[in-house]
Amino acid sequence: MIDVKLLRSNPEKVEEALSRRGGTVSLDSFLELDKKRRELLVETENLKAKQNSVSKSIPALKKEGKDVAPIFVEMKEISERVKAIDEEIRQLEGEIDKVLLTLPNIPHEKVKTGLSDEDNEVIRHWGEPREFGFEPKAHWDIGEELGILDAATAAKVTGTRFTFYKGDGATLERAIINFFLDTHTKHGYKEVFPPFMVHRSSMQGTGQLPKFEEDAFKVANTDYFLIPTAEVPVTNMHREEILNADELTIKYCAYSACFRAEAGSAGRDTRGLIRQHQFNKVELVKFAKPEDSYSELESLTADAERVLQLLGIPYRVVRLCSGDLGFSSAMTYDIEVWMPSYNRYVEISSCSNFEDFQARRAGIRFRRSPGSKPEFVHTLNGSGVAVGRTVACILENFQNEDGTVTIPEVLLTYMGKNVIEKE
């Protein structure tokens, strides 16, 4: 959510900044509703002040034996007017909230103006895409031939965009999760294991709702949603809290399954592990002081990069342009890994600074010192990293001509073997 005071004091600037995301934005309706609301507020508050002062004098008047009946008649009228105005204000606030909750975050000024991923800035590369001395296969073919990935059975049991991992495939998935968690906890992240379902307010707190409800799975007969990422439960851990400044920066890492309806991506990435309705991810989440949040974004991105470096997977880091930026984010670095089957880099991690956008929605604040005013924290998160895509990446990048796959050294203790071959 954007600061209402900023919207009031500088609407043109906000409109201009938001239009960098594409399309035009007008705050006129908000400004009008806001003005009307404040006018009514003054009126009802004055009436309430009168109610309070008269009420306070009633016991004394009664004691003196005065007739209070005429006062009650007048007060009854005031009471009814207050009720009517309050109802009107409630409706206005509903409309104002609707506007506020659908406005995306303001992109950081360093974020390049652009329309799509074609305008993203490449920040750096690590490693070189491997030159194959043979025709490399796609991970869905490798996985099927080795008998470790099975989309057909998942389609029979559930539907499309699901996969059974079997044998060494299942073990590899589990090994990667543990490797990621161990690496991040070693670097100061506290491990949490969150609920995989959250209520509506949590989804709203991190920005998935109200605008993107069709992207989420809603659990029937409840008001719960399957989490699209651990970002949702973990960021909301501190909702409606005032943290101490000396606790910050708080760093969490969390494994979770993630569930996405993938509405609007029909026909895209239909084969393999790249776009599934359910996938595993280890997420990194930070709560930081505003002045620290951009250096924390750099270190968070570096923490996500570390696991890829340890696995020996070549990647590049791009900074998303304004048009490609997520709804809640002020700045995002995507980490993209080289995927031979796609013959291009594919996103495996997205690291964002939301500044106070989520904190404002979820009410996450901190106090600099005892007695000082609470301020909103800045929240950040990033994949550290997507597990299914890592499996795909390992299968493709480390495949051998004979159809076997060499497992990165760092996974040896987790896997118990360094080659996956057909059983």
| Site for RNA contains 113 (CB under 7 A) | no
Sign of CA dihedral 16, 18, 19, 24: negative
Nearer to RNA, 19 or 201 (CB): 201
CB of 52 to RNA, least distance (A): 4
Q: Which is nearer to RNA, 122 or 242 (CB)?
A: 242
Distance separating alpha carbons of residues 399 and 163, to the nearest angstrom: 20
At 113, phi and psi to the nearest 5?
-75, 130
What character string, x for contact with RNA (CB under 7 A) and - otherwise, covers 218-247? ------------------------x-----
| CA nearest neighbour of 257 among 138, 189, 174, 380 | 174
> Does 186 interact with RNA (rule: CB under 7 A)?
no
Annotation says 347 is catalytic: yes
* Binding test (CB under 7 A) with RNA, winner from 19, 36, 48, 201: 48
Least separation in angstroms between CB 368 and RNA: 11
Least distance (Å) between residue 75 CB and RNA = 3
Residue 402 tokens, joined: 């004979």
From the list 275, 306, 316, 368, the catalytic residue is 275
- For RNA, which residue of 19, 31, 36, 54 counts as binding (CB under 7 A)? 54
Residue 260 designated active-site: yes
Q: Which of 59, 94, 210, 416 binds RNA (CB under 7 A)?
A: 59
Q: Which of residues 330-389 bind RNA (CB under 7 A)?
A: 365, 370-371, 373-374
Tokens standing for 364? 């996450």
Active site residue 350: yes
Pick between residue 72 and residue 132 the one whose CB is nearest to RNA. Answer: 72
Q: Which of 10, 19, 79, 278 binds RNA (CB under 7 A)?
A: 79
User: Out of 231, 283, 347, 396, which one is annotated catalytic?
Assistant: 347
- CB of 342 vs RNA, minimal distance in Å: 39
Q: Does 41 bind RNA (CB under 7 A)?
A: yes
Question: Is 389 noted as a catalytic residue in this protein?
Answer: yes
Smallest separation (angstroms) from RNA to the CB of 232: 17
Q: State the Cα–Cα distance between residues 339 and 397, nearest whole angstrom.
A: 7
Residue 325 CB, nearest distance to RNA (Å)? 26
Contact 172, 414 (CB under 8 A): no
Cβ atoms of residues 338 and 315 within 8 Å: yes
Q: Which of 90, 124, 156, 271 binds RNA (CB under 7 A)?
A: 90
Q: Is 45 in the site for RNA (CB under 7 A)?
A: yes
Minimum Å distance from CB 46 to RNA? 6
**Interface with RNA includes 38 (CB under 7 A)?**
yes
Question: Which residue stretch of 54-62, 169-177, 249-257, 326-334 sits at the interface with RNA (rule: CB under 7 A)?
Answer: 54-62
Q: Do residues 1 and 327 touch, judged by C-beta distance below 8 A? A: no
| Residues at the site binding RNA, with contacts judged by CB under 7 A | 4, 38, 41-42, 45-46, 48-49, 51-56, 58-59, 72, 75-76, 79, 83, 90, 242, 365, 370-371, 373-374
Which residues carry out catalysis? 260, 275, 347, 350, 389
